[in-house]
Amino acid sequence: MNAPELCFQAPPAILTLRDRIDQNVFNALYARSLVYNTCWEDPAVDRRALNLGADDTVMVISSAGCNALDYALDAPARIHAVDANPRQNALLELKIAAIRRLEFEDFFGIFGTGYHPRFAELYRTCLRSELSTFAREWWDKNQGWFTSPLGSIYYHGLAGLVARGFRAYFRMRPKLANDVHELFAAGDRATQRAIYDSRVAPALWTPTLKWVLGRQFTMSLLGVPHPQRRLVQAQHPEGIAGFVRAAIEYVFRELPVADNYFWRVYLHGHYTPECCPEYLKPENFEALKGGLVDRITTHNRTVTEFLRETNKPISRFVLLDHMDWMSSYHPAALVEEWNAILRRARPGARVLLRSAHEDPAFLHWVRVGHWRRPLDEVLTFDRSLAARLHVDDRVHTYAGFMIADVAG
């Protein structure tokens, strides 16, 4: 497409003093921390939507890097993992280095078990030299996450703090903890529902837990800024706690838990060989080690910065949910980003994005290009496919899942 000009026509809400305080807290946490120690989007759903081929070039927001590794198993030409938080790419770099330099048993110990008693030695002798300067400095300071008395990297980082809090909560309530473990061990959905309905739900949803989930600080630790909280509250009569409850009930009543490694890892602090991301399975590790991992390149940039710097067309964009908070915090930058996406998109390119709202407002107020065209004139949304795939999402914490194709 011809390079579109920046057009800004947006009605974002005016931020209140409380909003600005929440924003400053979120920014302070984000600027100093690894937020996500594992990806919280289901790559099995993504891969069905992306339908990757050998000539595809993918741009994905890195997060914890799990899904970039998952996409690589479909052998696209190139995957650009882009994240404005360099700590997230430091984690992906460490995974890539470990795939290249370690055997599977050590690799699974580090990222599957989340703990390896010889990590310091492996890091010093095999991994450190493979990392960029920033990643090296980050892991020089934080390599103890893999040998911590807490027992797992999945109890570190901001999301790990929340997981650690829930682990402590379950320790104080051993019967509930035992019931939850039995829920994960259930062999069929009928048993899952029975355990959840009769034993877990009545004990889990206490006023205290609802209060904790309703705090913005808790949401900030999980990488959810106040604009996303507002979107949830606007849709659900019981607010954040009600939304989380509905998501959990869908997962544990409607979907099989046998392969739901997303929720399991935060309960147990580790994966198992039978329930883990695809990159942690022996045959996929070997495929990545055999060359597929070399198709991933990391970029410590914003999406717009990356797209301005590259001159290669992109055929697949995986944007996660960052546009929710951009639409409130930086609406002009969001319009600029959409222009950059359309400028760099190959004709027929596919865009995946998630949102706390099933129909996010920015899709209607963003205007792009010289003619100020609305997004639904330059994108074709496949709402039917998105709806069919969304029901299988094992995370299920996003109200909106959107698949859109760029006009040829």
Q: Which residue ranges make up each domain of the chain?
A: 6-86+282-406, 153-268
Superfamily of chain region 6-86+282-406: Vaccinia Virus protein VP39 (3.40.50.150)
What is the CB neighbour count within 10 angstroms for residue 372? 13
> Measured between alpha carbons, how far is 41 from 322 in angstroms, rounded to an integer?
13
Q: What percent of the chain has pLDDT over 70?
A: 86
Reported as type and span, the H/E element at residue 81 is strand 78-82
> Measured between alpha carbons, how far is 104 from 110 in angstroms, rounded to an integer?
10
Residue 389, both tokens: 């795939």
132 Cβ contact list (under 8 Å, min separation 6): 90, 93, 298
Strand order in the sheet with 314-318: 296-299, 78-82, 57-61, 314-318, 345-355, 400-406, 379-381
Would you state the torsion angle of the CA atoms of residues 54, 58, 63, 64, taken in this order, to the nearest 10 degrees?
20
pLDDT digits (tens, 9 = 90+) for 53-76: 999 999 999 999 999 999 999 999
> Measured between alpha carbons, how far is 244 from 219 in angstroms, rounded to an integer?
11
Residue 56, both tokens: 């595809």
- In this model, does residue 8 exceed pLDDT 60? no
Q: pLDDT: is 217 or 48 the higher one?
A: 48
| Crossing angle between the packed helical segments 157-172 and 174-184, to the nearest 10 degrees | 120
Contact 57, 77 (CB under 8 A): yes
- In this model, does residue 223 exceed pLDDT 70? no
pLDDT digits (tens, 9 = 90+) for 232-266: 666 667 777 788 888 889 999 999 998 999 999 98
Strand partners, 186: none
What type of residue sits at position 5? E
What is the CB neighbour count within 10 angstroms for residue 117? 9
- In this model, does residue 269 exceed pLDDT 60? yes
Q: What would the mean pLDDT of 216-245 be, rounded to a whole number? A: 67
> Measured between alpha carbons, how far is 209 from 218 in angstroms, rounded to an integer?
11
The predicted pLDDT at position 3 comes to: 36
- In this model, does residue 16 exceed pLDDT 70? no
The predicted pLDDT at position 344 comes to: 97
Strand partners, 314: 345
Name the nearest CA neighbour of 26 among 304, 302, 227: 227
Q: What would the mean pLDDT of 302-317 be, rounded to a whole number? A: 96
- In this model, does residue 19 exceed pLDDT 70? no
Contact 339, 368 (CB under 8 A): yes
> Measured between alpha carbons, how far is 74 from 80 in angstroms, rounded to an integer?
14
Reported as type and span, the H/E element at residue 191 is helix 189-195
The predicted pLDDT at position 236 comes to: 67
> Measured between alpha carbons, how far is 65 from 315 in angstroms, rounded to an integer?
19
What is the average pLDDT value for the chain, to the nearest integer? Answer: 89
The predicted pLDDT at position 216 comes to: 65
Residue 172, both tokens: 């104080």
Maximum separation of any 2 CA atoms in the chain, in Å: 62
SS3 363: helix
> Measured between alpha carbons, how far is 283 from 305 in angstroms, rounded to an integer?
36
> Measured between alpha carbons, how far is 167 from 275 in angstroms, rounded to an integer?
19
DSSP states of 93-114: HHHHHHHHHS-HHHHHIIIIIS
Q: Which residue has the tokens 């949830």?
A: 232
